Amino acid sequence: MTEITRDMLMAYADGQLEADQRLLVEAHLATNPEAAAEVALLQRQSDAIHTLFDPVVAEPVPARLRPRRIAAEASSRRLQSWRWAAAAVVLVGLGLGLGWFGRPLLSGAPPSQTLIADAVNAHTVFVAENRHAVEVPATDEDHLTAWLSNRLATPLGTPDLTGEGFTLVGGRLLPGQPDAGGRAAQLMYENTAKDRITVYVTAALPDRTPAYQFADAGGAEAFYWANSRITCTVVGSLPDDQMKAVSQAVYRQMTEGDVTAGQAYRG
């Protein structure tokens, strides 16, 4: 006869046995009252557990435990968090944008200061050059003025400074700040003593208001003005009188016909 273990009795009581084993156990129980009592006790334990807790199953399920409701809430929470994420992205973008375009306002440096600094830098770099002082030489003046006028999107002539002893060497195009006039044209002039001055021109600033400024930039002097059409910075390291005369000549010729040019430079 197969030995019936306590585990088998328990498995029988728990309804875990396959049909053939169940028959074996039942045959054993029929002739073994002790085993039968053991099984009966286990079954009474299970019955008691069911009696204790089965009523829970009959209780109505609270709404908060309905899977469909939970799924709907989860997806609306997901949507909500997407919305928050999107809002955050927009706000960060706005902040970056405001910060970026508000730079000139916040940095405290007016565009004129940027322009003068750029003009002086460009002056310092290119007046030291001999063979590559300019991109387009004065011999090609028509092309030079047409090209630079196009690139600056504002008509640009080359002032005649022969009265002050200076002749045009040529010019070049330079990068600039988009919020401070954009690209710049640099015109270079030279006198017989090989003194060089540069004229740094950009399109008008966004505010288009006239402005004048004279700056001493470490060895070089800069005369800056702005009107509704252009900004212009004359840079050189000439004696004061000469610098004044050259600046006035440039100013006069560059603002010719500009009704909005405002008052002339008086030194």
Partner 1 sequence: MDSFLDQVEACVPALRRYARALTRNLDLADDLVQDCLERAISRRGLFRPSGPVRAWLFTILLNLYRNSLRTARHQPSTVDFDSIAEPSTPAPQPGHLALAEMARAIDTLPLEQKEALLLVALEGLPYAEAAAILKIPQGTLMSRLGRARAALRLATGTPAEPHLRTVK
Measured from the CB atom, is 36 or 138 closer to partner 1?
Answer: 36
What is the C-alpha separation between 149 and 147, in angstroms, rounded? 5
Asked if residue 87 binds partner 1 (CB under 8 A), the reply is no
Beta-sheet strand order (sheet of 220-226): 136-137, 167-174, 184-190, 196-203, 230-236, 220-226, 211-217
Contact residue for partner 1 among 1, 18, 68, 106 (CB under 8 A): 68
Structure tokens at 94: 């706005």
User: Binding to partner 1 by residue 67, rule CB under 8 A?
Assistant: yes
Per-residue tokens: 58: 């009959």
> 56: which 2 tokens?
């829970």
Half-sphere exposure of 89 (CA within 13 A, CB side): 6
Q: Which of 258, 236, 254 has its CA nearest to residue 160?
A: 254
Give yes or no for a contact between 42 and 13, defined as CB atoms under 8 angstroms apart: yes
Candidates 3-11, 131-139, 211-219, 255-263; binding stretch for partner 1 (CB under 8 A): 3-11
Q: Is 4 in the site for partner 1 (CB under 8 A)?
A: no
Please give the Cα distance from 5 to 13 (Å, whole number): 12
Q: Is 20 in the site for partner 1 (CB under 8 A)?
A: no
Q: Which is nearer to partner 1, 42 or 245 (CB)?
A: 42
| Site membership for partner 1, residue 107 (CB under 8 A) | no
Residues with Cβ within 8 Å of residue 4, at least 6 apart in sequence: 24, 25, 28, 32, 35
Comparing CB distances to partner 1, the nearer of 6 and 83 is 6
* 34 counts as binding partner 1 under rule CB under 8 A: yes
Phi, psi angles (nearest 5°) of residue 117 = -60, -45
Question: Does the footprint of partner 1 cover residue 79 (CB under 8 A)?
Answer: no
Q: Closest distance between partner 1 and the C-beta of residue 20, in Å?
A: 17
Residue choice 3, 18, 54, 241 for contact with partner 1 (CB under 8 A): 54
Binding of partner 1 at residue 131 (CB under 8 A)?
A: no
Mark 198-237 with x for binding to partner 1 (rule: CB under 8 A) and - for no binding.
Answer: ----------------------------------------
The answer to whether residue 70 forms part of the interface with partner 1 (CB under 8 A) is yes
Structure letter (DSSP) for residue 261 = G
Q: What is the C-alpha separation between 6 and 17, in angstroms, rounded?
A: 13
Asked whether position 49 contacts partner 1 by CB under 8 A, the answer is yes
Torsion over CA: 179, 181, 183, 186 (sign): negative
Establish if 46 lies at the interface with partner 1 (CB under 8 A): yes
* Interface residue list for partner 1 (CB under 8 A): 6-7, 10-11, 14-16, 33-34, 36-38, 40-42, 44-57, 59, 61-62, 64-68, 70-71, 74
